[in-house]
Amino acid sequence: MSGFEVRRHDNGEVSILHLKGFLDAHTAPQFEKALHELVKENRVRIIVSMTDLDYISSAGLGVFMGFIEEIREKGGDIKLSSMSEKVYKVFDLLGFPSLYEIFDDESGALARFNETY
């Protein structure tokens, strides 16, 4: 299995998580940890950028669901951006587009955050 990597990049009030590689049941805890840290720091405006994400499994999708309620309660949101067609298909199949805002690139997501807050 290919590896997985989460890099965090803070941009003002917004935190951007860059996902890279394979996000599945084995690597999901890494992503979970990154989100958990953000929530702990009360940084709840989060963009998950998936430019380099090759694959996402149901366990990986579950991570979003595990946090979204708390983040939205705190007045934040998770916005998704820059996903490949293949990854988008998975999100789309499950119906994520009706639950999350998905942007072509980070700047779109950033702009949305800036106009809402």
Partner 1 sequence: MKTNPIPEKIALFFVVLLGLLTFAFDILKFSSSLDFSQWSYLNEGINFVILMAYYYYVRHKRFVSQSDIQINLKNFIKLLAALYIWTLAWKQILSPSFVTTDFPKAPDTIGTVVYSNLITFAAIVVIVPMLLMVKNLIFYKQKNRTRIYLALALSATLLGMMTTVILRQPLDVSSDSEHIFQSLVLATGIVFYLILATHNSWITYLSRKMKYSYFLASIGLVWVIAMMFDVIFKESVAAHSLVVAAFTNLSWYFLFFYALFGSLTFLFHLPTARVFDRKMKEVASLHQLGRVIAAEFDLGKLVKIITEMTKDVIESKYTWIEVYDDQTGHLSVAATINIDKKELRSMDNHALHQIGIQVIESKKRFSINSIPKNGPYADIRSWKKDIACIAAAPLLGANDQVLGILYATKSVEFGFDPDDLNMLEAYANQAAIALENVKLIKNSLEQERLERELQIAREVQMRLLPQKLPDVPLKLETLTITAYEVGGDYYDFYQNHEDHLGIVIGDVSGKGTSAAFYMAETKGIIQSLTREQRNPVEILEATNLILWDSLERKSFITLLVADINYKKRQLSFARAGHCPVAYYSSRRKSVEFLQPGGIAVGLDKGPVFSKTLELKKINFEKDDVLAFFTDGLSEAMNKSGEEFGEERLGQILTEHAHEEVDVIKDKVINAILGFLQGQNLHDDLTLIIVKCT
User: Which stretch in 9-17, 44-52, 73-81, 90-98 sits in contact with partner 1 by CB under 8 A?
Assistant: 90-98
Q: Binding to partner 1 by residue 59, rule CB under 8 A?
A: yes
Q: Binding to partner 1 by residue 3, rule CB under 8 A?
A: no
CB of 62 to partner 1, least distance (A): 4
Q: Binding to partner 1 by residue 52, rule CB under 8 A?
A: no
92-101 long-range contacts, CB within 8 A, separation 24+? 94/61, 96/61, 96/64, 99/68, 100/64, 100/68, 101/77
Q: Binding to partner 1 by residue 37, rule CB under 8 A?
A: no
Residue 50 to residue 20: CA distance in whole angstroms: 7
